[in-house]
Amino acid sequence: MHVYAALLRNRRFALVWGGATVSTFGDGAAWVALSWAVLRLDGSARGLGWLVFAYTAPVVIGGLVAGRLLDRFDRRRLLIVDNMVRGAVMAAVPVLYSTGELHIWHLYGAAAVYGVLKMFPLAGIPRHSRVFCWRS
């Protein structure tokens, strides 16, 4: 257990871990919100199936693009931009809903953007914590 405490005392690692944890909770909340909104607007299992397709199909493209960009550019900045774009896309959903302008295709579009960009944190945050501990 002391190994984990030592890792969390490393400021860089603690920031990455904390950010990734918050982002993961946001991903879960976003999925629940999108699913609920599709069921509310469409009311069918077919609509939910299309949402799942819109969310998962772009992952293939996102993986190819994310890998190349993460190797070419600063990972930290790309991860920040990724979270900002995904946050803005998800923030647009309740805004559109509150104005009465939310349509089912908005939800599919948000899911597709989310699916493409989801590969950035999956590929960009190393699983081995030493990567963040080496640089002070």
What pLDDT digit, counting tens, does each position of 126-135 carry? 654 444 444 4
Count how many domains the chain has: 1
pTM, two decimal places:
0.77
pLDDT in tens, 60-95: 888 888 888 888 888 888 888 888 998 899 999 999
**Dist. CA 45–CA 52, nearest whole Å:** 11
DSSP 85-112: HHHHHHHHHHHHHHHT---HHHHHHHHH
Residue pair 34/28 in contact (Cβ under 8 Å)? The answer is no
Instruction: Report the 10 Å Cβ neighbour count for 14.
Output: 13
Q: Domain range holding 114?
A: 2-134
